[in-house]
């Protein structure tokens, strides 16, 4: 009897383990999906496309490094407020090197992530039946892929119109699933030329324009968005007639001066052609892009304020002035502070949608192209000025007209991530005010007020992590 019990106990002890091998082999991930099998429906593909938008939003809206503001910090639109946290001062002072944290590392990483998702969608698009829905998904993915590469090449490479050697100089790696670029995770690809990058960007965008839908709702690209992007890319590429043609295809009304306040507090979407949106309720801890310029606590903590000369060049009849600036106070000093990204109505948390491309830019792209081709740019410029000024002189021609277009562009698009690229693509230097940061021009002037047009720092260094993990990548000159 006793031995039987012992035997039973022993059998029980061993028996427990009988089914263990099955348990081991059947285990699958719980909350993740399989990228090879997930994309089978339109809604699944839309999840992928939304993922790609999310990646773009990541690097545009980042409170420390957002592309919505860094190009202004690198330019002559702002000056560093010395009583702030001096965030991004390495960028403002042109002290960055390949290992500098922030945008240099961040954009390279995040933009390629956007490209990766877009490629995932593009590679499997034939899982959907032919038709408008498939075209719309593919159109968005192609446009996002082009957009992310465009941001990369304009930041790390030269811009075709910047200098004669630009097209032949090193751009970035253009990753296309169709070409098999996405197959090897251990690939160490080489940089292609700027010209090749622009050809592929334009190729993807032109194809997207034929495929994408009319209206995809807030925060998503549609046919207006793609043509808007094309008008910008053609301008960077010096294809002026195409700028005009693309601009003409963008059917979005300009924002009136009255609309502007609501535009920057996300009450309306007047003039928005491309935006990256945030749902501030369900994404209440999402990025607050306004922190690039200031934080509001008990008092303002300003990071950057208007460049003294820039502020004073703005006409007092300019209806924008009160929308884009306010008097900020910190440590007993007053500053011309930046008001565009303070938050939604009633908020001071800096959490707003990213204004990537507005009808006003499309119009100014067109005006600049018209000027370059000797067409009537003045009337185009005046369409905007009529809406922005109580009164203005106008009637410019020649160099004055060119200056007027660029001035209008600087003011209208100020702090939205354009200025550095506009100077760069036009081969112009950064010439900051030599006055101080405080409202009356006292305080501390920039350490480096001028960046000559041919300075290597117009091209950001390839991040050190890429240099270290990819033996085939070549660093930009100067770093």
Partner 1 sequence: MKQKLTWMLTPLLVLFMTFSFAQEKTVTGVVTDQSGLPLPGVSVVVVGTTNGSQTDFDGNYAINVNQGEKLRFSYLGQKTVTMSVGASNTINVQLEEDAEALEEVVVVGYGSRSKELSTSAISTVSAEKIEAFVPSTSIDNILQGQAAGVQVTAANGRPGNTAFVQIRGVGSINAQTTPLYVIDGVPIPIDTERDFNPISNLNPSDIETFSILKDAATVSKYGSRGANGVILITTKRGKAGEAQIKFSSSYGFGEKIPDNFDVMNASQKLELERQYAALGVGAATSTPGATSSPAELARLISLDTDWQEALLKNSVIQSNNLSISGGDEKLTYFLSLGYDKNSGIIQNIDGFERISTRLNTNYQAKDWLNIGANVSVSRSTTDLPRDRNNVQNPISAMYTYNPYEPLFLTNDDGSLVTDSQGENVYNPTRQGFQVANALITEPEDTRNLLLIGNLTAGMTFSDKFSNNFSVGLISNRYNRTSRSLAGGVLNSIVGSAAFPGTQTDELEVDFEYNVNNVFTYSDTFNGVHNFSASFLLEYNENISTDLLASGRGFPSPSIPYLDVAAEATTVGSVESRRILFSQGLFMDYDYDGKYILSGSVRRDGSSRFGPDNKYGYFYSASAAWNIANESFMENSIFNTLKLRASYGTSGNQNIGDFQYLNLLDFANTYNGQTTALPVGVGNPQIQWESQAIFDVGVEFGLFNNRLNGVVDYFKKNSNELLLDRPISYTVGDENNSIFSNIGEIENSGIEVSLSGDVIRTQNFKWTLGGNITFIDNEVVELVDGEDIVTGTFGDNILRVGEEINSYYAVEYAGVNPANGEPLYYDLDGNVTNEFSDSFQQLQEGKSPIADFEGGFYTAFSYKGFGLRGDFVYKGGNYIYNFQRSSGISIGNIASSQRVEAFNYWKQPGDTDVLPSPVYQSNADQTSTRFLEKGDYLRLRTLTLDYNMPRDMIDGIGLNSLRFFVAGQNLFTITDFNGDPEVGLGSAESGEPGDTGFVPGSFNLFSYPNTRSYTFGVEVGF
Write down the least CB distance from residue 315 to partner 1, Å: 30
CB 98 within 8 A of CB 464: yes
Euclidean distance between CA atoms 269 and 363, whole angstroms = 17
Look at phi and psi of residue 81 and say left if phi exceeds 0, alpha if psi is from -120 to 50, else beta.
beta
Q: How many CA atoms are closer than 13 Å to the CA of 57, on its beta-carbon side?
A: 23
Report the residue from 89, 163, 256, 268 that binds partner 1 according to the rule CB under 8 A.
89
Which of 13, 3, 57 minimizes the C-alpha distance to 286? 57
Euclidean distance between CA atoms 375 and 380, whole angstroms = 10
108 binds partner 1 (CB under 8 A): yes
463 binds partner 1 (CB under 8 A): yes
Query: What residues from 168 to 197 belong to the interface with partner 1 (CB under 8 A)?
Result: 172-173, 175, 182, 185-189
Assigned token pair, 221: 């690209």
CB 106 within 8 A of CB 59: yes
98 binds partner 1 (CB under 8 A): yes
CB 235 within 8 A of CB 365: yes
Report the residue from 61, 77, 140, 295 that binds partner 1 according to the rule CB under 8 A.
295
Query: What residues from 205 to 264 belong to the interface with partner 1 (CB under 8 A)?
Result: 218-219
- Per-residue binding string, partner 1, 423-462, x by CB under 8 A, is -------------xx-----xxxxx-------------x-
Euclidean distance between CA atoms 128 and 39, whole angstroms = 9
Euclidean distance between CA atoms 76 and 92, whole angstroms = 10
Options 88-96, 222-230, 309-317, 411-419: segment touching partner 1 (CB under 8 A)? 88-96
165 binds partner 1 (CB under 8 A): no
Query: What residues from 5 to 44 belong to the interface with partner 1 (CB under 8 A)?
Result: 6, 9-10, 13-14, 16-17, 20-21, 23-25, 27, 29-36, 38-39, 44
- Per-residue binding string, partner 1, 320-349, x by CB under 8 A, is ----------xx--------------xxxx
* CB neighbour class for 294 (10 Å; exposed up to 12, middle 13-18, buried from 19): buried
282 binds partner 1 (CB under 8 A): yes
Assigned token pair, 451: 């960046």
116 binds partner 1 (CB under 8 A): yes
Assigned token pair, 381: 């410029």
Residue 313 or 469 having the CB closest to partner 1: 469
Options 115-123, 134-142, 156-164, 413-421: segment touching partner 1 (CB under 8 A)? 115-123
Query: What residues from 121 to 150 belong to the interface with partner 1 (CB under 8 A)?
Result: none
Which of 329, 341, 334 minimizes the C-alpha distance to 414? 341
Write down the least CB distance from residue 117 to partner 1, Å: 6
Report the residue from 327, 469, 474, 477 that binds partner 1 according to the rule CB under 8 A.
469
């Amino acid at each position: 009897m006793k031995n039987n019990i012992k035997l039973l106990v022993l059998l029980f002890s061993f028996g427990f383990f009988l089914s263990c091998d099955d348990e081991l082999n059947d285990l699958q991930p719980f909350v993740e999906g399989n990228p090879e099998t997930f994309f089978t429906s339109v809604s699944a593909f839309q999840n992928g496309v939304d993922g790609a938008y999310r990646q773009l939003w990541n690097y545009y809206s980042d409170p420390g490094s957002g592309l919505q503001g860094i190009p202004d910090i690198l330019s002559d639109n702002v000056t560093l407020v010395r009583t702030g946290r001096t965030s991004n001062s390495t960028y403002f002072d042109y002290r960055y090197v390949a290992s500098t944290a922030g945008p240099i590392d961040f954009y390279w990483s995040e933009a390629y992530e956007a490209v990766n998702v877009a490629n995932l969608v593009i590679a499997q698009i034939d899982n959907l039946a032919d038709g408008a829905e498939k075209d719309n998904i593919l159109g968005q993915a192609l446009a996002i892929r082009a957009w992310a590469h465009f941001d990369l090449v304009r930041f790390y490479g030269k811009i075709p119109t910047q200098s004669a050697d630009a097209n032949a100089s090193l751009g970035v790696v253009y990753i296309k699933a169709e070409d098999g670029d996405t197959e090897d995770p251990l690939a160490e690809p080489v940089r292609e030329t700027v010209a090749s990058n622009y050809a592929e960007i334009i190729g993807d965008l032109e194809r997207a324009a034929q495929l994408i839908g009319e209206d995809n709702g807030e925060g998503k690209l549609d046919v207006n968005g793609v043509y808007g992007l094309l008008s910008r890319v053609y301008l960077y590429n010096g294809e002026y007639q195409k700028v005009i043609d693309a601009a003409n295809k963008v059917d979005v009304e300009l924002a009136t001066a009255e609309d502007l306040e609501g535009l920057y507090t996300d009450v309306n979407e007047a003039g928005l052609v491309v935006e990256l949106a945030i749902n501030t309720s369900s994404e209440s801890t999402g990025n607050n892009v306004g922190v690039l310029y200031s934080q509001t606590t008990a008092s303002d903590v300003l990071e950057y304020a208007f460049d003294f000369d820039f502020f004073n060049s703005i006409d007092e009849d300019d209806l924008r002035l009160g929308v884009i600036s306010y008097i900020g106070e910190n440590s007993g000093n007053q500053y011309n502070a930046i008001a565009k990204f303070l938050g939604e109505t009633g908020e001071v948390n800096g959490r707003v949608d990213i204004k990537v491309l507005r009808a006003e830019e499309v119009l100014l792209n067109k005006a600049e192209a018209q000027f370059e081709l000797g067409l009537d740019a003045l009337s185009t410029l005046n369409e905007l000025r009529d809406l922005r000024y109580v009164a203005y002189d106008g009637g410019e021609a020649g160099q004055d007209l060119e200056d007027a277009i660029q001035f209008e562009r600087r003011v209208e698009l100020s702090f939205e991530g354009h200025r550095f690229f506009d100077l760069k693509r036009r081969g112009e230097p950064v010439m900051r005010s030599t006055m101080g940061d405080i409202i009356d021009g006292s305080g501390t002037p920039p350490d480096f007020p001028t960046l000559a047009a041919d300075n290597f720092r117009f091209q950001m260094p390839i991040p050190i992590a890429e240099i270290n993990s990819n033996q085939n990548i070549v660093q930009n000159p100067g770093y």
